[in-house]
Structure 1
Amino acid sequence: MVTAIAEATAAISCLDARFCVSPVAKAWTRRAMWSGYAKALQLQQAEIDEIDVFSWGCGLKVPGRALRATHLDVYEDFAPWEAALADSDPLAWRDALPLAIGEPAEAADHPPLVRALDSVRQHARAVGSIVPWLALPFALRDRKLTASPLPCLASGVKAFRLKKTPQDDDWLAALRALGNSALAGLDRLHALERFYRDAQRAIAAQFRPGALPALLALSHQRPVLSPQAVADQLDLSVAGASKLLERAKEAGLLAEITQRRTWRLFLTPDLAAEFGYVQPKVGRPTKEPPALPGDRKLAAAFDAFDEEMAAIDALLESHSERAAR
């Protein structure tokens, strides 16, 4: 148990430290919200995979996946959770907590990680929705284990909801699940940062990048793409968006996950391999190309790409605000 606590705490600390200085923190947060929400739904015994939540978040339907149920909305808690994660008030999320949740006198004898999980356990016993699992990132932040809520750390075990007194094995499973979520989030952050650098190299290699920087900026925030979605977001024709997606595919920055001429869908390579749409590479990881030599022309191109990233982020946030209203 002590080893599991130490390993989970270390993994969370590594993720938090890397997140605080990452150039793709906002894009990673959006993906981490979908990942954490999928985990919370699975803890409520919903038959759903991460790709289903990712495709829902991107507003696209992936062929071959089960249709969404029409008699209930499994995503009704996502918008309030997203708003709470973006709230600058660190105590605002506590307003929705049941009054029965508290810490006994002996809680001070336990590590902060165990106390955070125990607050989730109490919450899960009091509320039968996915909200308790979504509250864990806030509990970790309040106990100084992270600087800000990290959405991918929405976690727990079903025993917290079903058992009045969880056994040691249940606590061990919860600690290991949380540590694995932190390590998976760190791996995805590394992959997204490499995708960011690969995008910069691809832009620098293009004689006329055109709308490619805008597409690559969009793919950081919306990893599941279609020609129609790209056309709508970037104000292009569908034919132009298709050609742009083909350019990104040829550069190895997108993978096509449908084998057809119409209604094509594309996914970023890291997620395409993780979700089983392309064969993952075996053996040693490929060595990353060296950094490009710095000069004014490249610096201007990279600054323009960062501006595209910021513009896409602002555009998607405005869309989310309008949808919430």
Structure 2
Amino acid sequence: MESRPAPARYGPDYTPKMVAAIASCSTAIGRLDARFTVSPVAKPWAMRAAWTGYAKALQLQSAEVEEIDVFSWGCGLKMPGRPPLPSHLDLFDRFAEWRAALDDPDLLAWRDALPTAIGEPAVARDHPPLIQSLDTVRQLARIEHSIMAWLGLPFALRDRGLSATPLPCLAGGAKAFRMKRKPDADDWLAVLRALESAARIGLERLHGLERHYRDAQRAITAEYRPGALPALLALIQYRPLLSPQSVAELLSMSIAGASKLIERASMAGLLVEITQRRSWRQYLTPDLAADFGYLPAKRGRPVKERPSLPLDRDLASVFDAFDREMAAIDNLLTGAR
């Protein structure tokens, strides 16, 4: 009788398809991490990525929400056409705790808080760091039935050296990790492909946010008197969904003044209206408007970016002032959380 190899007791069976998926996923994570560590918009991207990751974790908890709903909650505005979220559940009760953990400089805090039942057999050292990270989440999901199991994946990836810092958009896993004692090959492949997709989308959005940052600089330099425009453009980095009322409250100005300011940003192509009505208007950044279906997806070759602005002392002072506005907005929103 023909003998067959025994199935793996730790991790998946390393078929050629599995090995290729692991390599591709690890590479995508590495590219995102490398770009994030040097990006001038790392902080606002991390805030947006946290909403993306939390949406994925909620879906793994079988919550009927989409990413757009979490962005809406994070920006404090209800997007038009979206059904109301369940009122009998507090879907976001763990978000503040998770955000605090993401910002915690203690690299051992998450690992030290893991249940003692989670271990790592000696054979784990023979497996790729990505599989070790996912297996930690699998074990945690079997013990911890809350959303925090799925939110732990960015920390596990960091602890295994796949990223220098937790990347919030990489939260996730698979329901099979919780429901099955031993996930099969299809379960592992599904997780790897979903994680790779999250890393690729995260990198695309990071590049998009950097383009928005450069376009904001161009818009400021094109204005004879920028006024409060730099403050609004800095705010857009952190709050991509805005209304005149929210801008007026956050920037301490009148609603009429906020409306005029938003109109200037819209004329520069940095915001698009998604409500098409005379009152209670809402605006969204063009990239997310396309992602969420408010604008048609761009097809064909990407539009060539305008050439970089020349470097001189006057422009350098403008750029420094814009960066100070972004730091001020970050402090303002951090204090409001």
Q: Give the residue type in structure 2 aligned to 1:311.
A: A
2:206 corresponds to which of 179, 189, 198: 189
Match of 2:226 in 1: 209
Distance 2:88 2:112 in 1: 29
1:260-282 deviation per Cα after TM superposition (whole angstroms, max 9, x unaligned):
11111101111011111112222
Residue 76 (1) aligns with residue 63 (2): no
Choose 1 or 2 for highest CA Rg. Answer: 2
Q: What is residue 105 of structure 2 aligned with on the other side?
A: 88
Identify the residue that residue 39 of structure 2 maps to in structure 1.
22
**Which deviations, in whole Å up to 9, do the C-alpha atoms of 1:29-66 show, x marking residues without a partner?**
00000000000001111111111101101111112111
Q: Which moved more, 1:89-98 or 1:182-191?
A: 89-98
Which residue among 213, 225, 239 is the counterpart of 2:256?
Answer: 239
Matched, 1:169 2:178: no
Distance 2:76 2:112 in 1: 31
Name the CA distance, whole Å, in 1 between partners of 2:298 and 2:159: 39
Output the CA distance in 1 between the equivalents of 2:295 and 2:219: 21
How far off is 1:244 after superposition? 0.7
Unaligned runs of 5+ in 1: 321-325
Figure out how many residues of one structure are paired with residues of the other and give that number.
320
Amino acid at match of 2:197: N
For residues 71 and 54 of structure 1, what CA distance do their matches in structure 2 show? Answer: 20
Taking structure 1 as the reference length, the TM-score comes to 0.97
Please name the residue that 1:133 is paired with. Answer: 150
**Could you say what secondary structure the match of 2:304 adopts?**
coil
**Aligned residue number for residue 40 of structure 1:** 57
Helix, strand or coil at the partner of 1:259: coil
Residue equivalent to 2:120: 103
Q: SS of the residue aligned with 2:26? A: helix
1:259 aligns with 2:272: no
Q: Given the alignment of the two structures, is residue 31 of structure 1 paired with residue 40 of structure 2, yes or no?
A: no
* SS of alignment partner, residue 260 of structure 1: coil
Match of 1:198 in 2: 215
Q: Distance in 2 between matches of 1:226 and 1:153?
A: 29
Distance 1:21 1:290 in 2: 21
The alpha-carbon deviation at position 95 of structure 1 amounts to: 4.0
Distance in structure 2 (CA, Å) of the matches to 1:87 and 1:281: 38
Q: Give the residue type in structure 1 aligned to 2:237.
A: H
One-letter amino acid matched to 1:296: R
Deviations 1:149-201 (A, max 9, x none): 01001021111111111001111111111111111100000000000000001
1:12 to 24, 29, 47: 29
Alpha-carbon distance between aligned partners in 2 of 1:214 and 1:89, rounded to the nearest angstrom: 32
Long gaps (5+) in structure 2: 1-17
Deviation at 1:209, TM superposition (A): 0.9
Q: Percent identity?
A: 68
Per the TM alignment, residue 292 of structure 1 is displaced from its structure 2 partner at its CA by 1.0
Partner SS state of residue 37, structure 2: helix
Q: Does 1:249 align with 2:266?
A: yes
Candidates 89, 92, 113, aligned match of 2:130: 113
